[in-house]
Structure 1
């Protein structure tokens, strides 16, 4: 009965009112004296409680009989009455509610394999711009559908797999724009939209699930996601390219920066390109439209970077060479949030 009393208390009944109500409910109809004997509540107080329960639609008080009878309303009708109150409350609260995104990082420690897979799939399914994944090759099969769906809806997907090159190439087929393989075992690193990140012991996703191993899921955390991306690119630099997908057709408009860079590299091998970079606020320009001169990058072969995490477009703007990087760019002249790549 304790749990039922606690539940009724959530709907505003006191413990005494809940006990009296259950005493009536079990009898169907009870006198005030019977309820008093059952619950050790004084007779005078039972009268007051009965009126309160009647106001809530839980009982009917029949004082035309002597002694006064308290009759329980059938539970279905009683619950409908409470539900109607909750529905009205929900409507009122919804009118007042303003939805906001959390302005602080959400950190979750995950120790269950299935839970971590669920978190990974959720992040990939909600990605808007880009997904960078490093996992053991067998794990790719578990997340391939989510990655393929993300790619099909225009999200840039880069996949680094630990294991045999041939197996990695098969696992990456159709799931990534570009994939690499590294023979040594790899830990699990995932970065989504430069805001969310997952890092975990690889055994949590594949092989023997060892006690004490866990994963961290971090959302609304650009700084942590950026750190994970830097670490990811260091592994990427040591790996071998095993698969490259087709870039978007030109003109490719308003692509996330690294997707635009990939597109420029893939199309730039046999044609002259023009870049329109929409810049982040706070710079001395809002947009740059200029011919593409050079790309410094390590996303696809052949690499042309000066250091492993470099992703830079060099354009000829107003008679001088200008460098454009992505979110958080610190060595380039400008930081772009999106790129449009077209043929000159």
Structure 2
């Protein structure tokens, strides 16, 4: 995977979409057959992928026999994609708020008795990185003793940017925050500067999944799901599992290196 295709996947393109768009950038206007060979995407999938890229604003279609496809320049494509995603997200939020209001009307007092239960060792899964970030933000805001993170530069940047205020409140409240961030690339300087004031940060090699623990009991695991090219998050409350992860964290921390500051 190239840096380009990796970045494209980070903003929301699938693996095939990223590969095909990169191929269009390299080749210029091309037939679907040429793109399939260049991107190493099966012929049976390439038309669907090209149509998806057109819908998302990354490609244009030139009518003819055969059709040809061209790449929109990256800056314009990403701007358009952001506008589309922003509108989709707003529509989804409006729909969720409406459903939430309807649920509140449907759920009576007798149906809500289990809301305040604090069961241990119960797991919940999240299939979207926005849900995962919201869960991490809630756990960060509730932490009073310790937050441990093992994560990638991209996910670390998302965490710091997504709930910086919660991290500030937790740090000001006296909780210890430590982060182990993989060394596959540098952390963005503004993020590092912001995080430096709140936590201890070290670098470690060969991390692909993400692990977050809170107050010696709550654990969140997050990783990319190869089946649908999205993210999966799993949270659970387990002091026993926490002790194992905390031990592993200590071993990695001892083997980590300091952050290089420019």
Q: TM-score range by the shorter chain?
A: 0.3 to 0.5
- Report which of the two structures shows the higher radius of gyration computed on alpha carbons: 1
Could you say which structure has the higher strand fraction? 1
Does 1 or 2 have the higher relative contact order (CA < 8 Å, sep 6+)? Answer: 2
Q: Structure 1 length normalisation: TM-score? A: 0.37
Q: Structure 2 length normalisation: TM-score? A: 0.47
Could you say which structure has the higher helix fraction? 2
